[in-house]
Amino acid sequence: MVIVGTTTHLRYQSTLQGKCPYCDLNNSNLELQLYCDYTHLTLIPLFPVKRHGSIHCTACNAPIAYEELSQDCKTTVDAIAHQKRLFPIWTFTGSLVILLSLSIFIKNWYVKSHTDYPLEQLQKGDVVFYETENGYYSSFKILERKGPTFKVVHNTYIQNTFFDLEDLNEPSNYSKQKETLTLSDLNTMETKGYIEGIEKSKLNSF
């Protein structure tokens, strides 16, 4: 069962010397405690919610408001609170895990939707993005298919990164010269990991 809730965590504790306005001792031990609240899913912290703190006198146990402190004490408390202003990183654990899982999921979905299209089903109009043997990237377009034989036109542009490879797919970038490729050529490219992705022609998507 997944339980969502908020937990208060004591993250800092120290004793200051100061005047307690209640028992009126001049040198009481005043205990400062700083907390952070965080939301959790069962036992996993998701994200922090707020910071808060308290001060009490260890002699008479009275809680003391910040405004009741001497100026010296206020300065000390301010310095400590400033030092502890950032939430501990572990309070973000759940958010980081969710973000990471989501980005892996989106990346997998993207790769799958761009590559999981069997070469056997390539048809006229489809575009194949590939890596060349010397590490450049380009594409070719299927003009026609007869069984295992494809007539293709190659992109006249190459680039040295696979990012935004789709941008190369401009009709005017393709050569006029037709070349022949066989299904077995394509399978060899895929086995060597040279096929980066396939963009199905809109006509073939329906």
Sequence-distant contacts of 23-26: CB under 8 A, at least 24 apart: 23/57, 23/59, 23/60, 23/62, 25/59
Site of interaction with Zn ion (CB under 5 A): 20, 22-23, 57, 59-60
Give the shortest CB-33-to-Zn ion separation in angstroms: 16
Residue nearest to Zn ion according to CB distances in the complex: 57
The least CB distance from residue 75 to Zn ion, in Å, is 20
Bridge partners of 37, per DSSP, are 8, 50
Answer yes or no: are the C-beta atoms of 35 and 89 closer than 8 Å.
no
Question: To 5 degrees, how large is the angle CA 94–CA 98–CA 101?
Answer: 135
The minimum distance between CB 13 and Zn ion, in angstroms, equals 18
- Specify the residue, 60 or 89, whose C-beta has the smaller distance to Zn ion: 60
Query: Between residues 37 and 68, which has the closer beta carbon with respect to Zn ion?
Result: 68
Which run of H or of E encompasses 26? none
User: Would you say 20 or 153 has its CB closer to Zn ion?
Assistant: 20
Residue (60 or 106) nearer to Zn ion, CB? 60
Q: How far is the CB of 71 from Zn ion (least distance, A)?
A: 19
